[in-house]
């Protein structure tokens, strides 16, 4: 008996790759391509070229998002939208957006710039330190 054909045709693989490239996680991209996440997962394991293409697509999605943030931090921010009346609007910011720069610092240099959360609690019992976190 012949083995059933894979649902991961070249067209489906390309649809998954494109969806990942615009920012979807690979398993969500599976639904966009009309296949199950398990089909994408197993095809990724069996096909090194597909796995490499998905890694490259993920990197391109990340690069595009970091570029947007970096441009905002540098004062090259551009925002476009269409309102309910189908009128296109564009805002270009020439001044740096400090929040974008702060976001990059918090994530890229977390040891120096990430927020330090302090939690205050009240208890009647003494709290023992967990040795795993000492």
- Gap between the Cα atoms of 67 and 29, Å rounded: 22
In a domain, 5, yes or no: no
In a domain, 125, yes or no: no
- Domain range for residue 65? 10-117
In a domain, 124, yes or no: no
Q: Is the pLDDT of residue 25 over 70?
A: yes
- Gap between the Cα atoms of 20 and 56, Å rounded: 9
In a domain, 133, yes or no: no
Q: Mean pLDDT, to the nearest integer, of 69-98?
A: 80
Between 109 and 11, name the one with better pLDDT.
11
In a domain, 104, yes or no: yes
What's the total number of domains in the chain?
1
* pTM, to two decimals: 0.63
In a domain, 4, yes or no: no
* CB distance 22 to 33 below 8 Å: no
In a domain, 2, yes or no: no
* CB distance 66 to 25 below 8 Å: no
In a domain, 103, yes or no: yes
Per-residue confidence at 94, pLDDT binned at 50, 70, 90?
confident
- pLDDT on residue 105: 83
């Amino acid at each position: 008996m012949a083995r059933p054909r894979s649902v991961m045709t070249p067209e489906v693989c390309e649809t998954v790759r494109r969806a990942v490239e615009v920012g979807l996680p690979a398993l969500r991209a599976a639904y966009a391509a009309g296949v199950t996440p398990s089909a994408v997962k197993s095809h990724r394991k069996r096909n090194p070229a597909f796995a490499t293409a998905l890694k490259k697509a993920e990197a391109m999605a990340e690069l595009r998002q970091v570029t947007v943030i970096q441009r905002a931090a540098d004062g090259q921010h551009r925002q476009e939208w269409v309102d309910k009346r189908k009128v296109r609007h564009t805002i270009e910011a020439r001044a740096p957006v400090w929040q974008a720069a702060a976001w990059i610092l918090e994530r890229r240099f977390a040891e120096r710039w990430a927020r330090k959360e302090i939690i205050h609690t009240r208890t009647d019992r003494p709290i023992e330190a967990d040795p795993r976190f000492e």
